[in-house]
A and B are shown apart, each in its own frame.
Chain A
């Protein structure tokens, strides 16, 4: 409990980046000479760029899974969470961000919100506000030292903040372990092993990512624990091109140990929307009418 607030900190931006990627018009011929590290860099760049000024609505479905007649099924009543989130980039190089995420469902968690302001300037502390609607209280969560922040769950799902982390490419040593065709797409399979420095913080000893060699999207990720056992798998489902940007509309994280999965589905998405900076404030957390008015505008643009 004592470290609860420090554990909530890892950025909300992760959430936005999770499902998105742009297509850069790379051809496989162009990519042929790329190193493993270059490929990961491209994947990361495109993913980050896509989160600019976006609004989206997503559904997180979590359940214990089983197999029946060759199909995947939930063996318990799935927990479904519906969220809406918005983010804009600000500052000199568009490197500061303001973002908000609001829970719509289930009814018991409706109205829970998190507001996050991050700054590129390392002398400025990031700020996060948490709002529990049932208590009507906003709490500002002071940033703790990053050194022992631990990965947390995304809205109580099987996906952790670490699973969705972007950047930090220097923390890993990459190698191409295979390339060819996977589910009809040309792919590189990139293995990332954490540097000794990174080993201290991560839950994983290594990961393998199936990267689409043309679109630079992750199609599949396998995560190995510290003992070298495969414990998690992420699979990408539907991929669509929206406003010239390749979007993963559905991804599923399998926790192979707990035999639980979380499916993350994008119900609506808008890029490059004009979001009023005033919306990304504490008022949006507490003032329902203000929040709904702003959200309705964004929802109207969503696809």
Chain B
């Protein structure tokens, strides 16, 4: 083993000199490749929908797709407003909401002066063409049943009224079944405008059978209609029309004029606005991305400042930055050229590449500078540096790649892409460090000015870090029991804490308190019908089953039961049964006595006929064309995924209990909960399970590699403990502090494996190599701490501070990664500098070597250079 390690190290030490004659071909090839990859960026595509997380044949996705194709997407904007005068029915509130409703409905009529005064352009206003319908207090109609006459007057017929009239109006509004909590809160402080859009329902033009440009040409449809006979043929080919994918720019373009319309001084003087819905979410996600970008720039700045502070050299700053840039460019470019749609995880890939790229370069340059300080010339120092760092970098590359590839084993599409692209990125960083960096350093490299007459050793000492590192072995020896005690205690405590971690994702809690998003969620949950929704798909498998009073009664009973049993989540519900009841009452005397499902199937069919004639789109959104499938909708208060999961599990039991008696009559029926929320719950389950699996796999792979490299099981196991501490600390702290581990924070695990563990591997590998060289534990440890200690401290400082910047994000998904990531990095540093030496002093592992001096007395040692 000793000779293998030595020969690998030797091989890496030859690399810089071997590449030197080919430096121009290398540089030219790298430039060409970079241009090629940069060209690929124009093809970059991101799929941020939740669908992208599932394989196409996943039952959850199929269920939701089926639901969407039957009933369409319901991607609207729900603008909740709070009246500052405390009354959404006050004259002022009604007047302004009427104005806003009118502007949203008839945006074409806005004159240029009004548009300019709102700081908008005509082009921005044109995005409002996606509005299909606007419902607000001032345009909503109510059903009136007077004697044998039906009418549907507006709820609000005049905008200005006396107090007595206002009270009567409120009473009338409260008496409506479907308006309270939908358009106003029960204390009248909050109101809402529902904007229905065509988002997700815009057909792909190519799929439609348009006539050719020659209008007089006769196509298939022209001739089909001549002799139409309604022949049934189930095998005929149907062209399923696809709908355009929603991309973020559509939402963003839509939100701009909407926000402009309600941001006039008069509106802001009267109301606070809280928009909720797909468009509002994307708008917010965009803000988050901008903030993340700003913070990333901050991270890069910190990296630059620290690189400068540590190396005092422009080239030492430039080359790591080029490493980051090129590695990221190659991965994103390659993914784009391959036509793979990535997810938000691409940002984690880039972060990982930044970390690994910087670490690889810093290790080489720190070592290079160390040898320069010792008086070596450029080529000599470069050879020595690659000899020292090549093997550990290879090892960390392999372990990180293994850790990331382990994610691919989960089979989840986005994890496979994330895992493999990250692994490729790490490999890119390695290739850069091994091939391009020596060539670049040949062109331009940091210089160390050694004062005339100054001893080499003094020069090496000059860095402020070295004296601290010199004193470290003696310090550890003096306090080794304390160090071991503290670290092992912490490790055990964190192991316990990790078992206590609650995996729970809460949408609202992804943002800090006080942010707009969090406030909107809180307001809508506390005052309106709630921010969550779940649908129960009721597919009876038989045509006209939804005309059956038994089926409708079962639906109505289930609704009542669920509303009552889960009142802590469920706010409102609606279904086809409600429509039938309401229409029934309307066609009778309008009283509650008839708010029932009629007993006869024919009566139900006729009420549904009426509903269909009046509003075929609403009908199609609620029940399919052959009346075999419908759905029950519940609005829910926001909660964490763990609570929701229990709720979903138990509601599924209730569904079975309610519908099973109908099984004889409808043997093909399929009733189950679906919708985005149900999908998210499955995703959370999958995420936590796959993260656990891939983490375990990664630990096994890394352990095996360590045992193999270090040539001894004892040493391998010894090395694994410091490796595990950063990860367990993160999860342990979360468990102990009762911070729920959400979907985003779960992603920290692979990052920690990628970053924190790397330094430890550098440290241990170097110690192993030093031991092979010196056959003396004391010298090996001192040498390791001095040489690798510097590089490890540098990378930890750079990456730790860089990650810490992210913890300022409003989006806690990013902030937590920043916070816990930097914590893990610094803890890993302490493990390397304090805990690993203490463990060596305790167990004195020989790594399978014989004749090793195990005198580990460092008393009085502050500066020993042995090379």
Contacts and interface: CB of A to CB of B under 8 A. Distances in A.
A80 B230 contact: yes
A200 B106 contact: yes
Contacts of A61: 230
A268 B91 CA distance: 57
B164 interface: no
A120 B636 CA distance: 51
Contacts of A137: 587-588
B612 interface: yes
Nearest to B152: A6
B151 A183 contact: no
Interface residues of A, number: 87
A6 B598 contact: no
A100 interface: no
Contacts of A231: 203, 208
Given A67-B220, A73-B231, 16 more contacts: A2-B178, A4-B615, A61-B230, A72-B224, A73-B233, A79-B625, A132-B587, A134-B605, A135-B584, A139-B150, A152-B613, A177-B215, A229-B208, A230-B208, A257-B208, A265-B228
Interface string A1-18: 111111110000000000
Contacts of B226: 237-238
Given A137-B588, A200-B108, A259 B239 contact: yes
B606 A4 contact: no
Nearest to B228: A263
Contact of B582 (A1, A79, A138, A251): A1
Given A4-B614, A65-B236, A182-B218, A260 B625 contact: yes
A108 B602 contact: yes
Contact of B606 (A79, A132, A250): A132
Interface stretch (A35-43, A87-95, A140-148): A140-148
Given A64-B625, A156-B612, A229-B202, A134 B150 contact: no
Given A2-B178, A74-B233, A235 B605 contact: no
B233 A252 contact: no
Contacts of B231: 71, 73-74
B616 A153 contact: yes
B57 interface: no
A139 B606 contact: no
Contacts of B728: none
Interface string B460-477: 000000000000000000
Interface string A184-220: 0001010000001001100000001010000000001
A4 B152 contact: yes
A73 B232 contact: yes
Interface string A141-164: 110100010101111100010000
Contact of B614 (A8, A68, A187): A8
Q: Which of A130, A189, A235 has the most CB of B within 10 A?
A: A235
Contacts, number: 241
Interface string B124-163: 0000010000000001111100001111110000000000
B216 interface: yes
B113 interface: no
5 contacts: A6-B151, A68-B233, A108-B609, A132-B587, A144-B152
A222 interface: yes
A265 B235 CA distance: 25
B145 to A, nearest CB: 8
Interface of B: 105-106, 108-109, 129, 139-143, 148-153, 176, 178, 198, 202-203, 205, 208-211, 215-216, 218, 220-222, 224-228, 230-241, 543, 547, 579, 582-584, 586-588, 598, 600-603, 605-607, 609-616, 619-620, 625-626
A63 interface: yes
Contacts of B215: 177-178, 189, 208, 210
A77 B588 contact: no
B586 to A, nearest CB: 7
B241 A134 contact: no
Closest 6 A/B residue pairs (Cβ)? A66-B236, A235-B225, A142-B151, A108-B605, A153-B616, A73-B233
Nearest to B611: A4
A142 B232 contact: no
A73 B583 contact: no
A181 B234 CA distance: 36
B75 to A, nearest CB: 15
A152 B615 contact: yes
A3 B224 contact: no
A235 B224 contact: yes
B225 A236 contact: yes
Contact of B152 (A3, A133, A177, A238): A3
A67 B108 contact: no
Interface in A229-244: 229-231, 233, 235-238
A31 interface: no
B148 to A, nearest CB: 6
A183 B222 contact: yes
A144 B616 contact: no
Contacts of A74: 230-233, 236
Contacts of A148: 139
Contacts of B106: 200
B198 A140 contact: no
A18 B302 CA distance: 73
Contacts of A251: 225
B588 A135 contact: yes
Contacts of A235: 221-222, 224-225
Interface string A53-70: 000000001111111101
A8 to B, nearest CB: 5
B236 A182 contact: no
A20 interface: no
B612 to A, nearest CB: 4
Contacts of A6: 141, 151-152
Given A80-B230, A200-B105, A257 B606 contact: no
Nearest to A181: B216
Contact of B148 (A67, A108, A139): A139
A227 B129 CA distance: 8
B142 A257 contact: no
A265 to B, nearest CB: 8
A254 interface: yes
Contact of B613 (A156, A177, A257, A258): A156
B614 A152 contact: yes
Interface in A98-154: 107-109, 112, 130, 132-135, 137-142, 144, 148, 150, 152-154
Interface in A263-277: 263, 265
Contacts of B129: 226-227
Given A183-B222, A237-B226, A142 B233 contact: no
A262 to B, nearest CB: 10
Contacts of B603: 132, 134-135
Contacts of A187: 216
A63 to B, nearest CB: 6
Contacts of A173: none
A75 interface: yes
Contact of B149 (A77, A139, A153, A257): A139
A7 B228 contact: no
Given A68-B235, A227-B198, A237-B225, A152 B616 contact: yes
Contacts of B216: 178, 180-182, 187, 189
A286 to B, nearest CB: 12
A297 B220 CA distance: 41
A233 B208 CA distance: 10
A107 to B, nearest CB: 8
A91 B850 CA distance: 120
Contacts of A8: 610, 613-614
A182 B215 CA distance: 9
Nearest to B607: A132
Contacts of B584: 135
A132 B236 CA distance: 36
Nearest to B177: A1
B295 to A, nearest CB: 38
A237 B228 contact: yes
